[in-house]
Amino acid sequence: MSTATQLMAQYAAYHRDRRNIATHFVGIPLIVFAVGALLARPSFGVAGWALTPAAILWGLSSLWYLTRGSLALGLATSLANLVLIAAALPLGQLETLPWLAWSLGTFIVGWAAQFIGHYYEGRKPAFMDDLRGLLIGPMFVVGEGLFALGWGKAMLAEIEARVGPTHLRDLHAPAAR
């Protein structure tokens, strides 16, 4: 089982250009929101609570985040995902066409932001080599936000020791692999 630091370093190897990281602060929340909206249907009544596939996915992903060895990062990621998914759930109450239009539209815009970022990076998205990248992405964005606030200096130092600091890639030079 990989630790949060190992996963973050593996993901960071695909995300060293600061423009790419910036686009991920837009794209990944939009994707999490869109997945929450897409999975807002159907809703099942369980002990007086409305249970959706989005809630089940949030619970399972939170369990995964909380077992990566960094409780603070796991809690922060789970909370961020909860806020995004909770904000998306009302879309599930819309008629089918508006629900799909908003959900898929947000999903497409989120992925467009991701691919624009990877143009700057000069490298394909991490999930293309390891599907866990789809789970690590939200943790990476939350981690980067926390690093910017001064949290996790030891984790950040370990990540940078493994994959180097962030930079702005010269778009006219070949990308480093």
Which tens digit of pLDDT belongs to each residue from 132-161? Answer: 889 999 999 999 999 999 999 999 999 999
Confidence band for 177, pLDDT divided at 50, 70 and 90: low
* Cβ count within 10 A of residue 6: 15
Residue 45 has φ and ψ, to the nearest 5°, of -80, 120
DSSP letter assigned to residue 90: G
Q: Before 29, cis peptide (omega within 30)?
A: no
Q: Which tokens in the block code for residue 126?
A: 């991490």
The rounded distance, in Å, linking the Cα atoms of 156 and 99 is 39
* Spatial contact of 68 and 7, defined as CB atoms under 8 Å apart: yes
Which tens digit of pLDDT belongs to each residue from 20-29? Answer: 999 999 999 9
Strand segments (E) across the chain: 44-46, 49-51
Taking alpha carbons only, the member of 110, 176, 120 closest to residue 141 is: 110
Q: Which tokens in the block code for residue 38?
A: 């897409």
